[in-house]
Structure 1
Amino acid sequence: MGGTNRQEWRRTQELLLGAELISGVREFALGGRRSLALDFAGPVGVDHWRTVAERVLRRNAAESAEVKVTPDGVTTAGPRDIAEVEARITGVQRLIGRIARYEARFRADGLLAEGRFVRSVEAWDYGRASAMARFGLGARYCAVQEAEQAVLHASRVARTAYRSPPCCCGGLCWPWSRSRTDSGGAGRCRRRGSRAERPSCLAGAAPG
């Protein structure tokens, strides 16, 4: 991912610091729950979360086929393929179940407090941006000062996105866990998070 020259490294770093390389599907699912939590001022049940996600996906699919007036004129998109819509709904609902299971493990390990949940996986990109800065320095794609500024930038955007180090840790660990097997990678990441609740992407953040 780091690239083979300074230009590629810098472009990747910019994308990571802007949280532009994270999964849009994961952010859709987590963003939907954030909205529900604000509406109901409390925990969101998995069944309700799945139901609302399905409703939004079906509405989006229907709206994509409506007539739209744009500066270029009137355009009409064809209806979305029913099988594609159903597959997307099934995938998101399975994802919601996985999120709930991982969060339960994080709570059991003390990584997430009761009643808390993973708000976003933006921390995954911010953590990788911090690592990318170190890679760039080692590969001589940047100077020490530029690498330091990149790490500080990752810390600032992480503090803006997350209320506390444990919340950031959840957003950082879950995608990492998903890229490994449940029996190995997830456990190692959770143990790391439990031992060090203040990852580099949240350096300087106040406990919350």
Structure 2
Amino acid sequence: MNCWDILGIEPTGDRERIRQAYERQMKFASDNEAQALEQAFREATGGMPAASAAAQPEPVAQEVRREQTEESGVESNAERALDAHEAQVVREVVIQIKALMNDNQRQQDAGIWKAILCEPPADQLPLRREIAKSLEPQIRPMAENGSFPRPVAQFLGDWFDWFSVREASHEPDPRNYPDEEVSREQASADQADQPPQMVNFWPAVIGWIVGLVILATLFGGMGG
């Protein structure tokens, strides 16, 4: 995941836009996420600390103010209090997810998670945030420690904007095993490195001697 994914914007050279994205994400960030956002801001601005972002020229500032006005409308809508119907939807979704957590087989299916969480109107941002708050104490630690399959953890991290879950779901699985072809090559190399083993011929020699004695005895008896 690069700095633009963490900030939630497309790559840009506009420092003011980068600063706005940083401040917007910081409103809902945990301590670990705040550190990741700080690092992402420095990378996006070429090393400039978040607190020292320079002001933009007037034409750019006007464009920034226009974007701020539009974004503030979206944010205010996302942060508004839920009405009775929306609150009921949140409760129903949380109940469905908790029931899903009691089924070890179904909770491994990312499609079931998507079917529950993405069903309108639960997919609206205000409802999604309330659902995330209700589920976070139980679901987020499990998604971070690998209790869910990677597709489920990736979906939860993206859907609820849980940066730590996104990072954990992209880490390589330490339980991966080497390819079968590599294993065969390694086994052949190990055999080639071993010293040749000595062949024991004594059992064969003793067998020949015993056979000759028996034949000599038989022919001696016939001659007598």
TM over 0.5: no
TM-score of the two chains, using structure 1 as the length reference: 0.23
Structure possessing the higher radius of gyration over alpha carbons: 2
